[in-house]
Amino acid sequence: MTHEQAVSTFASERYLLEEMTEPERTVFEEHYFSCVECADDVRMGAVMSDGARAGLMRQPEGRATVTDMTASDAWRRRENGAARWYQSAAVPWAVAATLAIVAGYQSFVGTPTRPFRDPQALVPVTLRPASRGQAPKVVVGRNSTVATLAVDLAPAVAGGSVSYSIRTAAGSTVAAGTIPAPQAGAPLLLLVPAADMSLPGRYVLSVGDTEYPFEVVAQ
């Protein structure tokens, strides 16, 4: 395969769309391993599609957005009366989070797949600091959009902000950032896109200096 043939047949796009037969794939791979331009093109397509799969694309207005939003963050926006708060997708999530707090924690992850027309309960998995005991299991179903993790923070951080990261057992960071800490007595609820934890296995949530190991189990 020549570079011109690869371009004219949309080989890179067909590869990304998984439309190629095995022999076609083999021929195209032989080409892109030797063609810097096609290698860049394939890699760029993979970054774009992996990024979308990982939940890094903020949805167009009118669609629910849950990426990396904490319940406490949602409440803060609500109480600050941010512009057009009533149109924000955060509101049903904040309501759901409150319901979850009232109801207490349960031991499985929730899978809110219905449209955000009605309040929905979050069912967080409560994580404990690293110990010798078995790590809590976070069940991620095929149609899960988010997993809800709950941790109790030290009262000293209440109302401030904390940094967090989620890493795989191999040490790859799948999510990280700084988030507002909840008020004293309330847990930190972290909604994590299920796509960020699509591979079953051990993960570690770090909040500040504390590590909370857990295991993702595919349903």
Partner 1 sequence: MPLERFEFDLGYIERLVAEDPETERHFTRYFGDLLTLKLRSRLRSAALVDDAKQETFVRVLATLKRKGGISSPQALGAFVNSVCNNVLFETYRSGSKVTPLEEGYDEPDERRPGAETTVLLGEEREKVQQVLSGLPKKDQELLRLLFIEERDKDDVCRTMNVDRNYLRVLLHRAKGHFKDRWIELTP
Pattern 45-74, binding to partner 1, x per CB under 8 A?
xxxxxxxxxxxxxxxx------x-------
- Report which of 171, 169, 151, 141 is spatially closest to residue 212, judged by C-alpha positions: 151
Q: Are strands 210-218 and 137-140 parallel, antiparallel or unpaired?
A: parallel
Kindly state whether residue 33 participates in binding partner 1, applying the rule CB under 8 A.
yes
**Separation between Cα atoms, residue 102 and residue 120, nearest integer Å:** 13
Binding-residue total with partner 1 (CB under 8 A): 55
**Separation between Cα atoms, residue 105 and residue 136, nearest integer Å:** 13
Kindly state whether residue 34 participates in binding partner 1, applying the rule CB under 8 A.
yes
Q: Specify the residue for token string 């972290």.
A: 190
Phi, psi of 89 (to 5 degrees): -70, -10
**Separation between Cα atoms, residue 182 and residue 180, nearest integer Å:** 6
- Report which of 84, 212, 91, 218 is spatially closest to residue 150, judged by C-alpha positions: 212
Kindly state whether residue 27 participates in binding partner 1, applying the rule CB under 8 A.
no
Kindly state whether residue 13 participates in binding partner 1, applying the rule CB under 8 A.
yes
Kindly state whether residue 41 participates in binding partner 1, applying the rule CB under 8 A.
yes
Residues in the chain: 219
Pattern 177-216, binding to partner 1, x per CB under 8 A?
------------------xxxxxxx-x-------------
Kindly state whether residue 115 participates in binding partner 1, applying the rule CB under 8 A.
no
Kindly state whether residue 36 participates in binding partner 1, applying the rule CB under 8 A.
yes
Q: Which of 3, 25, 76, 78 binds partner 1 (CB under 8 A)?
A: 25
Kindly state whether residue 30 participates in binding partner 1, applying the rule CB under 8 A.
yes
Q: Which residues bind partner 1 (CB under 8 A)?
A: 10, 12-14, 16-19, 25, 29-30, 32-36, 39-60, 67, 168, 170, 172-176, 195-201, 203, 218
